[in-house]
Structure 1
Amino acid sequence: MKKWLTIALFIFSSSVLFAQKSVKMHPVIDTAKAKWGKIKIVNGTAMTSSNDIVENINLSKDYSLLVTAIEDAGLTQTFKSKGPITFFAPTNQAFSKLPAGEMDTLLKPSHKYDLNYLITYHAIAGKLTVKDIQRKINANKGEATFRTIAGVILTAKIDVNRNIILIDENGGESVISNFDIQQSNGIMHIVSSVLVPKTKVL
């Protein structure tokens, strides 16, 4: 009886050991990473590096105004292109800081050019991480400038709280509140305010 009990315990212990080894060899998280790429939670939404900029901002209702602005400005294919593009994405809350009625005006078909100019002011050709921006700021004695896709300059500095502040052509300031969100066609940083270029004279 003792002999059979010993054999049974050996078989049970071996089964448990085998099961434990098999779980370690096939972790679920590795499968998820291989399929979806790098995942980052942005304002409660999981954005993945296998998606392009347009696909990722479409995942969250916090960027519904930005999605509409990109579509109405005729820029959907630009932000779905291969890139790479560095994009400073304003939330709906950032758009709400604009003067009353300004966004409604920009969304009218007659203001498509102005809307396009505004949105492309939030984009830079190439891929710039926060560290890249910081290095350029430090190398230029506390202030760096970048040429946007709109063709005009955006300035960056670091404040006393170590936040990166973007300064538009009108002196308006916007904080990068979430950064280094990898996209299949570049990188995205979330900003607290809409960046407004000076009116372009034709």
Structure 2
Amino acid sequence: MFRTIITATALAGFMAGAAQAQENPMVGGAPMFADKNIVENAVNSADHTTLVAAVQAAGLVETLSGPGPFTVFAPTNAAFDNLAEGTVEDLLKPENKDMLTKVLTCHVVAADAMSDAIGQMIMDDNGNHPVETVGGCVLQAQMDGDMITLTDERGRTATVTIADVKQSNGVIHVIDEVLLPAM
């Protein structure tokens, strides 16, 4: 009887841990914790070192560590690598801080928008939902099969590759392209 209780308790604990792990996926080889904020989690992702460096250079660490809520469409290092050669290096220069801030804030929405809510907004808007960002950009959210895509003001399209990474101050959706403001 005692062994059955211990086994049942261990199994329940394992199942709770497995459910929690499924709720918040690993990103960049690191666990994402729902009780940590966007910056605290992003710094642990090996896939987001360029984004973290850019957030630091733009002076946005304090903002994105704040209460939010924020939805961050987080481009991977590979997404930054897709930009024209030298673009990232130029954006990280101190004299380009305003442009870097504009690019980064075009990835942030002042809301906690999980993928099911975004999908419903897309459906409600007949397949295309405008998303206003903190940086003043308007992204066009659409569905491509069961994947959410975002098209920026230059016509570049990013796909959400990992959705619903819960944070204490919002949510991160990992994307495969950098979204750029209109020029």
Q: Deviations over 1:4-59 (max 9, x none)?
A: xxxxxxxxxxxxx31331342355447869xx9x6422243211101111111111
**Matched residue type, 1:155:** Q
2:94 aligned with 1:109, yes or no?
A: yes
Structure 2 match to 1:179:
163
What secondary structure, in the 3-state scheme, does the structure 1 residue paired with 2:62 have? coil
Superposition deviation, residue 136 in structure 1: 1.1
Q: Distance in 2 between matches of 1:110 and 1:134?
A: 39
Q: Distance in 2 between matches of 1:145 and 1:31?
A: 37
RMSD across aligned C-alpha pairs, in angstroms?
2.0
Unaligned runs of 5+ in 1: 1-16
The answer on whether the counterparts of 2:162 and 2:175 sit within 8 Å (CA) in structure 1 is yes
**Matched residue type, 2:172:** M
Q: Deviations over 1:53-85 (max 9, x none)?
A: 111111122110000000000000111001010
**Matched residue type, 1:183:** Q
Q: 1:172 to 1:31 in 2, by over 3 A?
A: closer
Output the TM-score relative to the length of structure 2. Answer: 0.91
Q: Distance in 1 between matches of 2:94 and 2:26?
A: 34
Structure 1 match to 2:3:
19
2:128 aligned with 1:143, yes or no?
A: yes
Aligned residues: 180
The answer on whether the counterparts of 2:149 and 2:160 sit within 8 Å (CA) in structure 1 is yes
2:30 to 32, 45, 58: 45
What secondary structure, in the 3-state scheme, does the structure 1 residue paired with 2:88 have? helix
2:82 aligned with 1:100, yes or no?
A: no
Q: 1:163 to 1:106 in 2, by over 3 A?
A: same
Structure 1 match to 2:66:
81
Kindly indicate whether structure 1 or structure 2 has the higher relative contact order, using CA contacts under 8 Å at least 6 residues apart. 2
The answer on whether the counterparts of 2:28 and 2:46 sit within 8 Å (CA) in structure 1 is no
The answer on whether the counterparts of 2:28 and 2:48 sit within 8 Å (CA) in structure 1 is no
Q: Deviations over 1:153-197 (max 9, x none)?
A: 1111112x3321100000000001110010000011000100001
Q: Runs of at least 4 residues of structure 1 off by over 3 A?
A: 25-33
Q: Distance in 2 between matches of 1:32 and 1:162?
A: 27
Larger Rg: 1
Q: Deviations over 1:100-145 (max 9, x none)?
A: 0011000000000100000000000011111111111111111010
Unaligned runs of 5+ in 2: none
Structure 2 match to 1:197:
181
Identity of aligned residues (%): 34
